[in-house]
Structure 1
Amino acid sequence: MINEFKDFIAKGNVMDMAVGIIVGAAFTAIVTSLVGDIINPIIALFTGGIDFSGWFYTLDGSEHASLAAATEAGAPVFAIGSFIMAVINFLIIAFVVFMLVKMVNRIKSAAEKPDEVAPAVETGPSELDILIEIRDALKK
């Protein structure tokens, strides 16, 4: 059983998956910081600092000063503002990831292209063309 476990761990796919998960976690931290620390403040500047997370409705009809107070009091809360903020953050993150993938693909395609395209060399007639000319000349 230990040998089977060693074989399983030693397979390339498992190691590749582990590296992918670790890099993905680090990438998630970078994208989250980019969105939360750079993009959201710029959006807040243009929208006047609108924060939807304070929009909520208590299902039992009780009044609370904030979402945190309603949650702490144990009231059933329909937190529509938190959902709206989650959707907005998802769209921003999805756009940022799209732009990063697009940039990486552009860099990859530039690296795969040859540096210089060989100039077209004009050659004379092909061997077949010459043979056809000889045949036609012999017919005459």
Structure 2
Amino acid sequence: MKEFIKEFKEFAFKGNMMDLAVGMIIGAAFTALVNSVVSNLFMPLISVFTGGIDFSNLYIPLSEASKEAFVNGADIATARAAGAVLPYGTFITDLIQFLILAFVVFLMIRALTKLMQSAKKEAEEAPATTKECPFCKTDINIDAVKCPNCTSDLK
């Protein structure tokens, strides 16, 4: 049992596991931020262009009681209390949130890729400081005229 606990501690407290935990926490906070942006900024703007439609209250009634609530103009909470509904407005909101989140992740990955490419380009452009000995194939100083490993004369 002690060995099992020891293995679990090694697994749970490895650097990669902690990095994953931090990533999950930041991801959850980022998701909450995107949800807030969509609910509080984008949906009201979209509502202005769609004639004041509140997407969160769009639904299709599936039972007689919810149909009656729908006809009377009830909001989704009242309709759900009355019976089964299909809340497609919530799906539209979730879809918009997903698209915004995917776009932000795309922009982040794009920026990181460009940054990595520029760093790689700088590394490739750096002048070489070593060369390979044609006889023993070890790396030696670029200015060497004799290999320090195999003592061969170099051109």
TM-score, normalisation: structure 1? 0.65
CA RMSD of aligned residues (A): 2.6
Change (3 A) 1:54 1:12: same
**Distance in 2 separating the partners of 1:28 and 1:59:** 34
Residue pairs, 1:5-84, within 5 angstroms: 5-52=8-55, 53=57, 55-57=59-61, 59-61=63-65, 63-64=68-69, 65=72, 66=74, 67-72=76-81, 75-78=82-85, 80=86, 83-84=87-88
Change (3 A) 1:18 1:38: same
Paired residue for 1:113?
A: 117
More helix by share: 1
Deviation at 1:71, TM superposition (A): 4.2
Letter in 1 for 2:101: V
Check whether the contact 1:31–1:93 (CA below 8 A) recurs between aligned residues.
yes
**Seq. identity, %:** 38
Unaligned runs of 5+ in 1: 119-140
Instruction: Work out which structure has the larger RCO, using CA pairs closer than 8 Å and 6 or more positions apart in sequence.
Output: 1
| Further displaced range: 28-37 or 105-114 | 105-114
Check whether the contact 2:63–2:84 (CA below 8 A) recurs between aligned residues.
yes
